Amino acid sequence: MTIASAAIDVKKGFPNLDAGTPGDVPDIDALAINTVRTLSMDGVQAANSGHPGTPMALAPVAYALWQRVLNFDPADPRWPGRDRFVLSNGHASMLLYSMLHLSGTQAIDKDLKPTGKPAVALDDLKGFRQMHTRCPGHPEHGWTAGVETTTGPLGQGLANSVGMAMAQKWLAATYDRPGFELFKYRVYAICGDGCMMEGISGEAGSLAGHLKLDNLVWIYDNNHITIEGKTDLAYNDDAAVRYLGYGWNVLRVGDANDLDAMERALRTAEATRGRPTMIIVDSHIGWGSPGRQDTKEAHGEPLGDEEIRKTKRIYGWPEDAKFLVPEGVRERFAQGVGARGAQASAAWKKLFDAYAAKFPKEAAELRCIFAGTLPTGWDKALTAFPADVKGMGSRVSGGKVLNAIAQGVPWMVGGSADLAPSTKTLLTFEGAKESFQSATPGGRNLHFGIREHAMGAVCNGLALSGLRAYGSGFLIFSDYMRGSMRLSSIMELPVMFIFTHDSIGVGEDGPTHQPVEQVPGLRAIPGVCVFRPGDANEVAECYRAAMQFHGPSIMALSRQDLPTLDRAKFGAASDCARGAYVLSEAQGGSPQAILIATGSEIHLALAAQAQLAQEGVRARVVSMPCWELFERQDEAYRDQVLPPTVRARTAVEMAADFGWGRWVGLDGTTVCMRSFGASAPAKQVIEHFGFTPAKVVEAVKASMARVAKAGAR
């Protein structure tokens, strides 16, 4: 059953619901598919920007999925039991926006409740890629209802879908009960050649195959076109063989226009057990008929008015009509995805009400998961650490704190990129020791393998499903995850990225493993909180603040031991929630200088403070574990911690000094890294690069001299 020849005779008007065309495709289905195509080309043309070809080619694929298979309720797009649809090749966003518009998907309010207004109105389609429209250039989660994740960077959506599929398995294993199958939804993702080329898709696909995620379906648009032209310029992988090697079920649909073949493939995927499914679909970009190809799509350009008229002529469409939705099309969607979704969501809600009556504790937890809130008393197991001169590495105290928090948040799951013994992120308490594997999908310890990029995006997928996710590794390898962390921030997801081995204190592993520019670089990502705590109690308070932050957080933790400070003598660690605080006040009067430090360097600053005191210099020590939280404080508090009148300031951090000028000012100095590290025992490396009390004292005096010189002018 194909639609290639299903042109509409405009002289006779658009067909009614009962008419048919050659190929046994009801005219109304052909009409609906061509509506998706024409809306897509009109939106791109109006914007004079975007990619029209892929939405046009994939319109029948998306239509077959949404109309015949997908369990999605347009009247309640956040219904927890819904199937998830991810458009990984986000440049084809007009495809998704057209489907959301035609299906009548409703907008949602801040409480995730439907508003009765359209998520994508026709005016939004007309304003594609313009300011304030609900149709930005690439789909954005939280901006447009029905968009499950923010996509654009190719391959990210695929890895997100793996996290979503893992979340479904975990939720079902944890909360389903006999007679109460709440979580049996499936995850569908459409991708293209670009997604396949990106390494993240291979990482994610390999993990999905290992975990036997049979609730996951990737639909691969095999159209052989990327921006530079034909894919054979750089790519000739046999994706079918590759994914069979990953343990996937691989199916093929030879013509994207064949709705029945597409449905058969989707039904086969539904029936497959123990393997995720990839459906390879052969399409011809930019046209509804095989053999025609739009070369402009290779450059991501609008078709142009004349080309659009020619294309609409092929579809039997009024050539000069723009953003036309013929009578009967919206009704057709209502009969398909709308009716099926409404019935499924109503049945699910009725089942959940019965579940809540029988399992009130579990239902209360699920309501928190759906709402993205923390349970009452989530941090009750979090206790203070006693003073200890030897102390422990902040990765060690971090592991203890993580376990304490996870006891109070039963849906907290996470793991590492094969580094849990080093990052100390394994959950070890009773009831959480089990690993997430195909046979034990309720395990809370995830094993991502050495796949940092996929780990970040999978954590985003878990968070998009309501779970509190964390991923861990060495700070130096955060570079492999930056794209995923950036998207986590754009979506404001409460993912926790836990990094250890945070400085040149790593020692013998040398400059390849000693992070220098990573912390300053991560601070540059808008909407992220980067925490670098300096002792066990700062670790606890930074974790507490991170759990309550509306967005992703990054922990930078030490391998080397750090003394646990006596808080009876020093500032309260609870002030970490404000980003920076006075750790140790100057003795004998107002401070003449301020030392600002993070992480392990707060102890170096305290040693320098003591030495300066012996020389008659009054210095205050400020611990600044989180720049971003300090920036959010009111001016009065910031001035209280860093008085504007005290211009002699020195920052101490074993990282590049990028950004410290904001806090130390023109007269300030920094004791930071200005090169890569070196391979030697940690103590030797630290001393070699000038992280000693004497060097810090020297820097403080240099800042004081600058202030004095400026005052004398």
User: In sequence order, what DSSP letters do the residues of 613-639 get, joined into one string?
Assistant: HHTT--EEEEE-S-HHHHHTS-HHHHH
Contact 710, 667 (CB under 8 A): yes
Same domain, 421 and 296: no
Same domain, 104 and 135: yes
On whether both 594 and 556 belong to a single domain, the answer is: no
Closest alpha carbon to 711 in 669, 666, 660: 666
Please indicate, yes or no, whether residues 404 and 470 belong to a single structural domain of this protein. yes
Full-model pTM: 0.94
Q: Is residue 2 part of a domain?
A: no
pLDDT of 300 reads 65
Query: For residue 438, what is the domain's CATH number?
Result: 3.40.50.970
548 and 609 part of one domain? no
Give the SS3 label for residue 141: coil
| 527 and 668 co-located in one domain | no
pLDDT computed for residue 713 by the predictor:
58
What is the pLDDT, as a whole number, of residue 711?
82
Q: Based on the domain organization, do 109 and 210 belong to the same domain?
A: yes
Sign of CA dihedral 61, 62, 63, 66: positive
**Ramachandran class of 300: left when φ > 0, alpha when ψ lies in -120 to 50, beta otherwise:** left
What is the three-state SS of 10-75? HHHCCCCCCCECCCCCEHHHHHHHHHHHHHHHHHHHHHCCCCCHHHHHHHHHHHHHHHHCCCCCCC
- Please give the tally of structural domains in the chain: 3
User: Residue 352 domain-assigned?
Assistant: no
Is 181 contained in some domain? yes
Rounded CA separation 240/311 (Å):
32
Residue finishing a domain among 563, 584, 607: 563
Nearest 5°: the CA angle 453, 165, 162 is: 20
206-241 core/surface letters (b: 16 or more CB in 10 A; e: else): bbbbebbbbbbbbbbbbbbbbeeeebeeeeeeebbe
Chain CA centroid to CA 549, Å: 15
With tokens 């090169």, the residue in question is: 675
Out of 563, 595, 627, a domain closes at 563
pLDDT of residue 18: 33
Residue 266 lies in a domain: yes
- The CATH number for 610's domain is 3.40.50.920
State both tokens at 109: 């309010």
Residue 358 within a domain: no
Is 698 a domain residue? yes
For the chain, which ranges sit under pLDDT 50? Answer: 3-24, 287-299
Q: Which domain holds residue 669?
A: 574-712
- Would 247 be classed as within a structural domain? yes
Which of 515, 541, 563 delimits the end of a domain?
563
DSSP letters, 387-449, are PEEEEEEHHHHHHHHHHHHHHH-TTEEEEESS-HHHHT----STT---B-BTTBTT-SEEE--
Same domain for 147 and 290, yes or no, is yes
Examine the domain organization and report whether 82 and 109 are in the same domain. yes
**What is the reported pLDDT for 13?**
47
Catalytic residue from among 198, 297, 452, 601: 452
Annotated active-site residue 270? The verdict is no
- Can you give the pLDDT at residue 211? 98
The answer to whether residues 149 and 297 belong to one domain is: yes
pLDDT value for 4:
40
pLDDT score at 298: 41
Average pLDDT over the chain, rounded to an integer: 93
Residue with tokens 């026709």: 122
Q: Which residues is 468 bridged to in the sheet?
A: 412
* Claim to verify: residue 553 and residue 604 sit in the same structural domain: no
pLDDT in tens, 214-226: 999 999 999 888 8
Q: Are residues 585 and 535 in the same domain?
A: no
Is residue 644 situated within a structural domain? yes
